[in-house]
Amino acid sequence: MKKNIIKYTLLLIVLLISSILYLSLVGIDTEKFNNQIREKVTEVNNSLEIELKKIKLTLDPFNFKINAKTIGANILYKGKNLELEYIKTKISLISLIKGVFVSSSLELSTRSILLKDLVTFIKASTNVSELFILERAIKKGQVIANIELNFDEKGEIKQDYKISGYLIDGKIGLLKKYNFEKINFFLDVKDNIFNFKDLKFRTNKTNFFSKNLKITKNKKNFLFEGDIQNQNSNIDYELLKLLNLNFENFNFLNTNLSSKNEFLFNIDNELRIKNLDIISEIKVNNSEYLKPILLNDYFPDVNDLINFKDHKIQIKYKNDGLTLKGSGKIKLENNYDEIDYKITNNKNIFNLDSKINLSELKLRSQEFLKPFFSKINKTTDLKNQQIEINYNKDNLSIKGSGKIKLENEFDELDFSILKTQDKYNFNFKSNLENTSLNIDFLNFNKKDKSKIQLNVIGSYNDKNELNFNKINIIEKNNKIKLENFILDKDNLIIKVDKVDLDYFDTEDKKNQLLLIRKKKNNYHVSGALFNANKLIDSLLNSKQDSDPKIFRGDLTLSLNFDEVNIDEKNIVKNLKGKFLFRDNEVFNADISALFEPKGNLVFTVSTNDSGEKITSFNSSRAKPIVDRYKFIKGFEEGNLDFYSSKKNNISNSVLIIDNFKVQEVPALAKLLSLASLQGIADLLTGEGIRFTDFEMSFSKNKDLMTINELYAIGPSISLLIEGYIQSNNLISLRGTLVPATTINRTIASIPLIGDLLIGKKVGEGVFGVSFKIKGPSGDLKTTVNPIKTLTPRFITRTLEKIQIN
């Protein structure tokens, strides 16, 4: 009996072990639990239906569970079929003994199915409602996936689900205008974290790949973080807009690059990208940048599309702020140059800091330079410049050193230009050798091939005011310095604080003077030497309707010079006095100076309350003034007195010259002087025709000059003339020429009376002089000669020279 018990016990154990082994290794096929599984799936989502074949059960003896697996099942959701490779689940052994189906886990493995269908199923089975964004965005793609679900004791799905799979040729329209296509990746999903491995995709014709991309589901957003790379891709402007990089003035076009990017951003329920954070290393093979309109005002020849090549760039973008550092090659005009730069853009405030080794660049020449560089080209050429460019909102700073060509050849230059709002500040330092420099009002011209150290610091504002804070011009024997020299838009001097001059002018005359502004418009000028020759020429040759305007506003000018050249040979000393200018006209003046070894010069102007201006000029030497009228040759000796009264633009003047002689006068006067023994003697000895007195009384009203009386008295000939001069139109004079004595006593006491009419003959272009000499027996002599040497231009210029107001 005992043996039977042992025998049957062993047999039972063997059978049990064999059953366990069979159930564990082979299992059994059954359809008994199909309905219970369907009911369980329906409990998860009543829109889900499942088609099952036989279920194979295998025993898990160590965990007291039964593994159930079916192959070739289908899940249907709203008419869409999700084909499964298999379904696996774990069933509690105790629940089976009790006849109740209680599953602790469920594992699904799909065949190659549509990505959209898979996402739809996951959303339904896991109740992850946020997946509706991805569900809507998916356009294409095949996926093979494994899904693992765990259930609690009540049969509810736990949140520790796992998904893994592989996507082939996916397409997602995440945003309205941008599609991601040719998507391939491995995916692991766990605890609301989506990990993508070996991700590849294409957007806007650009291929990207990523070693790692992680998407984390938060309360309201999806957090994206990872890396993304591309090789030799064309990045267009639309892609920059996708990343919210469509900044003002950030206009890069047709960009081909390779990049490695680390990023972090959120996408909300409205598909908006937020909190974008990017760190990038980029190699730009080629790119084009749309030239800002601002540069047109300064660089007319810069290409509309600025080319970049072989650039290495580091980019940081965070909270709508961009920082970009790079270096490479840039082509502004014709050649590629090396450049380093830093760009920042924060809340559409664009900043640029750049250093460039510039081989060439054309800068638009500014109008205010023309008075000093009269031969300046329309554009200024820069060559081999080390330039720094800084741009901040509306402010532009340009600093450079290298070569500059204002005319035909290059010179060395250091410069800076700063634009702040509507004001331009500039600083130029140059050693000028091949560039002409002229300062007309100082009668200064740079000598050819001489070297000048030039330093100009100043500003130019929106009122067209030009302020030279400092001008230093240093040549070998010349020094010109100005401080706070301000000009208005009409080139009138608003003020100048200091002028320090020590130079040789174009006549090789030494000038040493110092001008100081004492008060608002009170100036004092002093110096050892000053050449006033050109200044006097300018004053005498200027016409009333084009008098030079120099200052804006009224001013007082005090003078104190040791020595002043009034022409090439004549010098006055101890020149002192004062000018009061109103509306660029002398209102009051009192100037005096001394000739050596004797004589003096006095100039006064006074204006009374009625507006009448009285001008007087007295000189012990008339020659320095008369010699300026080139038609008079060999003028010697003489004193000059001039008096003028002017009111309401009508002047009445008297000019008196005493005790003078001339060597060359018009041919007619020479002919008549032969009637005098004294005249013959003067001409033969070369002494010239002597006059003891000259006086002219005349008035002027605009362009009409009326000679009331002009006479010259001399030992050989006397002259009396009256008439008028209409400027640039007609000259009409009537007068008498009288020889003092004559060889023929018959006519010695007979006056020679004649009419002198000077006018232009139609068609001939010459002037004629006609004199008829009358005596008691009739006409003694008649001369009618067109004097071809006296051309209209000569006569006009001659008479203009003596219009002294």
Tens digit of each residue's pLDDT (9 = 90 or more) over 262-306? 988 888 777 677 888 889 898 989 988 888 777 777 788 888 898
pLDDT at residue 515, as a whole number: 94
Q: Strand 768-775 to strand 778-786: parallel, antiparallel, or no bridges (unpaired)?
A: antiparallel
Q: List Cα–Cα distances, 532 to 330, 369, 536, 622, 691, in angstroms.
A: 54, 25, 6, 16, 29
Instruction: Give me the percent of the chain exceeding a pLDDT of 90.
Output: 14
pLDDT tops 60 at residue 618: yes
Query: Higher-confidence residue: 348 or 240?
Result: 348
Q: Quote the tokens at residue 532.
A: 């006033």
pLDDT tops 80 at residue 202: yes
pLDDT confidence of 750, banded at 50, 70, 90? Answer: very low
Max CA pair span of the chain: 205
pLDDT tops 80 at residue 729: no
Cβ-contact 248, 263 below 8 angstroms: no
Q: Quote the tokens at residue 47.
A: 């829109």
Q: List Cα–Cα distances, 454 to 7, 376, 386, 407, 492, in angstroms.
A: 124, 16, 19, 16, 23
**777: how many CB neighbours lie within 10 A of its CB?**
8
Of 93-102, 168-177, 434-443, the range with the highest mean pLDDT is: 434-443
CA 354, CA 566: separation in Å to the nearest integer?
A: 55
Cβ-contact 225, 214 below 8 angstroms: yes
pLDDT tops 60 at residue 762: no
CA 195, CA 164: separation in Å to the nearest integer?
A: 9
pLDDT at residue 276, as a whole number: 85
CA 487, CA 468: separation in Å to the nearest integer?
A: 8
* 742 CA to centre of own chain: 80
pLDDT confidence of 650, banded at 50, 70, 90? Answer: confident
Give the alpha-carbon dihedral of 9, 15, 20, 22, to 10 degrees. 170
Tens digit of each residue's pLDDT (9 = 90 or more) over 368-393? 677 788 788 888 888 898 988 888 87
- Tell me which of 85-94, 345-354, 642-651 is least confident: 85-94
pLDDT at residue 310, as a whole number: 93
Provide mean pLDDT across the span 638-656. Answer: 86
Of 138-152, 419-433, 675-689, 743-757, the range with the highest mean pLDDT is: 419-433
Tens digit of each residue's pLDDT (9 = 90 or more) over 121-170? 767 665 666 566 667 777 888 888 888 877 776 666 777 788 888 888 88
Tens digit of each residue's pLDDT (9 = 90 or more) over 455-497? 999 998 877 788 889 999 999 889 999 999 888 888 788 889 9
Tens digit of each residue's pLDDT (9 = 90 or more) over 18-66? 766 766 666 677 777 777 777 766 766 677 777 878 877 777 777 777 7
pLDDT at residue 700, as a whole number: 83
pLDDT tops 60 at residue 772: no
Tens digit of each residue's pLDDT (9 = 90 or more) over 344-371? 888 778 888 989 888 888 888 877 677 7
pLDDT tops 60 at residue 747: no
Going by C-alpha positions, the residue among 317, 320, 390, 313 that lies closest to residue 348 is 320
Q: List Cα–Cα distances, 558 to 492, 514, 520, in angstroms.
A: 20, 12, 14
pLDDT confidence of 665, banded at 50, 70, 90? Answer: low
Nearest 5°: the CA angle 662, 665, 669 is 115
Question: Which conformational region is residue 21 in: left (phi greater than 0), alpha (psi within -120 to 50 degrees), or beta?
Answer: alpha
Of 147-161, 190-204, 627-641, the range with the highest mean pLDDT is: 190-204
pLDDT tops 70 at residue 669: no
pLDDT tops 60 at residue 698: yes
Query: Higher-confidence residue: 739 or 572?
Result: 572
pLDDT at residue 680, as a whole number: 40
pLDDT confidence of 632, banded at 50, 70, 90? Answer: low
pLDDT tops 90 at residue 500: yes
pLDDT at residue 559, as a whole number: 93
Going by C-alpha positions, the residue among 288, 243, 274 that lies closest to residue 261 is 243
Query: Higher-confidence residue: 127 or 432?
Result: 432
Residue 274: is it exposed, middle or buried by C-beta count within 10 angstroms (0-12/13-18/19+)? exposed
Cβ-contact 582, 554 below 8 angstroms: yes
The DSSP line for 320-369 is TEEEEEEEEEEESSSSEEEEEEEEEEETTEEEEEEEEEEEEEEEEPPGGG
pLDDT at residue 433, as a whole number: 87
Amino acid in the structure at residue 652? N
Residue 268, SS3 per DSSP? coil
pLDDT at residue 462, as a whole number: 73
pLDDT tops 80 at residue 99: no
- Which residues does 274 contact at the CB level (< 8 Å), separation at least 6? 221, 265, 266, 267, 268
Mean pLDDT, all residues of the chain: 76
Query: Higher-confidence residue: 71 or 745?
Result: 71
Cβ-contact 261, 280 below 8 angstroms: yes
CA 124, CA 101: separation in Å to the nearest integer?
A: 22
